[in-house]
Chains A and B, each alone.
Chain A
């Protein structure tokens, strides 16, 4: 329930709704799209990435000298969790063709395709398989399937959305494989939303010029992830899943190939050595770094571990200077702060309006532009609505959806949204939601080519951990697509390559070299990475944990 003092503003939203509805129904533009110049300006003045302290130069590793997101630079300029001298690398616990690090969508797709291509493999994951960003995506997955659409138009949309910085070969792979991915998922039994003719229901998304967003109600990610996980579990003889065992450092061999990983058993606190002919990093994103103190939509394990592992071994990063904030995160009620309000709400006609009930931006500008506009509305223009704890947000007028498409649309197409608010006695079919941008997606990552190869032999990356697919700004629906396209590609490539790989002697020398580089750069720090889990223990509690020992964030 909204507090009483918000009633007046809520009334205004109601009062302006009929007029807004009329324009929406007329088929005319409900709000002018910004020109390239206007977009640039609002980004420069209001997007968090453009704040002076948001970037800093990294002083070690493959991207040395480049400006990247400060929080990521801190993470990379940290010590390893382990001392290489402590490990006897001749004592191997697991020997495998392919190792998949990460149990989200990219990891699961990679595992299934590696298996199909003859590999036996291990999937190691920090949390349970599937308890990942992949389970949470709601809005949809892009694929150019309709007759008025094509992979070429999809290519143009994705390139433009990413401000033309994406790697062409990756965007080609993304858009070309997309229909095949939908077909593959359908064949595995994913239930997509269909029209009465059996064609897919498709919607517009931010930055798409065609209706290309496929969905499974607003549980799209869950619908896909549940099926992929089920299918992985159908092959225990070929795919061994090891849960609650994060990778903490890659292993290499004396020929410079990546050769597996060190796993840390979160429960028994033992380290285990996995030797692998091909290693795939599929560890997802970094929302739990809480960049610029933003709340996040990401799962508990989204701490950029894979970036640290790959970077320490010598792989390079691409576009780690661009953070994706999602324009619509919940700011009220407190308990769901940061919770993602899927873009589909705007895709279905929901409009962002200010405290006066005015629409102030085209609802589906690219995400970074939409985000910057929300921040402008709440700061410079002072048209936001304050919450009882001093946060501020704008309304997302969901009742408009019902007015446009008929009663029951929300409960049918947005059951997860409806349920989430209903728990706090807000009926979003009758009242709008209060939203503010939230930290959502890691646009960049470890650079790959269209076979998911990195510059290190034996190391492949897929999914949110990779960089280059989305340039500096990902469009909604392209990352669920990404983890399927590149997860599959990584699995195939890793399995095929593994047939020929001859591994040499295992080593952790790259960790020693990295430590040396930190020292030479004069970096003195007590930071340790990968951090594995975020640190949510209060200082008051810590001050009483007199004999506890913290390794980085972990007790």
Chain B
């Protein structure tokens, strides 16, 4: 039953995939052709400590640079999401450093001034588009940077939403911009200050504070299994 996307022993016995040669950190290994770079490294005998997190394309821990056969271009991708190719050269890199400027979100204005103060280098974008070309999430990175430069925080927040903060764009940026950190600041500003807030949430938080549900809650907590079970079965269900 087990078929994790990892090169576990069991799985490799059942895998009938063809073996292909890949170069991992400069050394040639034969690995099944249907593995990802991450599982290929494990197949080859690596025990990963760094460079593996979610293993599903959500955390950005597994950035890998590689070159395909007969191609001069240096590519970058997520090891957990990229399937190996014959004769590819793979090098795993640790992540981009995590330190960043600190700020107090409560003190900031949701405008270009916040970005200019905290990430002033954004203004130096050369519009070279290198970031967009490497983003494994296919995000229009340069466009969100340009939105930031214009002070369009809503656009910045929207375009950068799917960013997994892998850092590949920053490694390629000739202007030394740390796109993903800046984008997160933009989204936080948008979420906190700019998005329109409806009344329901505030109202419910107040009701709870005033103890509106406390008595009902105590009753439910005291109810025996049978009573709860009955009330559960009788509850009406909102339709989709």
Contacts and interface: CB of A to CB of B under 8 A. Distances in A.
A155 B102 CA distance: 39
Interface string B96-138: 0011101111000000000000000000000000000000011
Interface residues of A, number: 106
A189 B191 contact: yes
A219 B192 contact: no
B164 interface: yes
B225 interface: yes
A36 B234 CA distance: 12
B190 A191 contact: yes
A209 to B, nearest CB: 5
A300 B239 CA distance: 38
Q: Which label, helix, strand, loop or mixed, suits the secondary structure of the B interface?
A: loop
Given A168-B220, A537-B9, 16 more contacts: A135-B58, A156-B232, A159-B220, A194-B196, A197-B198, A290-B4, A294-B2, A300-B55, A335-B36, A335-B83, A336-B5, A338-B5, A340-B56, A391-B3, A416-B58, A538-B45
Contact of B237 (A209, A244, A267, A420): A209
A295 B201 contact: no
A234 B102 contact: yes
Given A159-B232, A536-B8, A131 B162 contact: no
Interface stretch (A109-117, A198-206, A517-525): A198-206
Nearest to B202: A183
A83 interface: no
B233 interface: yes
Contacts of A198: 195-198
Interface of A: 24, 27, 36, 127-132, 135-136, 144-148, 150-153, 155-157, 159-160, 164, 168-169, 172, 176, 179-180, 182-183, 186-192, 194-200, 204, 209-211, 216-217, 219, 221-223, 226-227, 230-231, 233-236, 244, 266-267, 290, 292-297, 299-301, 331, 334-340, 349, 389-391, 415-416, 419-420, 423, 533-534, 536-539, 541, 545, 554-555
Contacts of B56: 136, 297, 299, 336, 339-340, 420
A186 B198 CA distance: 12
Contact of B221 (A169, A293, A338, A534): A169
Nearest to A33: B237
A292 B2 CA distance: 8
Q: Which label, helix, strand, loop or mixed, suits the secondary structure of the A interface?
A: loop
Contacts of B198: 194-195, 197-200
15 contacts: A128-B61, A132-B53, A148-B238, A168-B221, A183-B205, A189-B188, A200-B200, A219-B58, A221-B58, A299-B59, A415-B162, A536-B6, A536-B42, A537-B42, A537-B47
Contact of A27 (B49, B162, B239): B239
B2 A295 contact: yes
Interface residues of B, number: 89
Contacts, number: 262
Interface in B50-108: 50, 52-59, 61, 81, 83, 95, 98-100, 102-105
Contacts of A295: 1-5
Contact of B2 (A24, A145, A290): A290
Contacts of A128: 53, 59, 61, 95, 98
A169 B181 CA distance: 39
B145 interface: no
Contacts of B199: 199
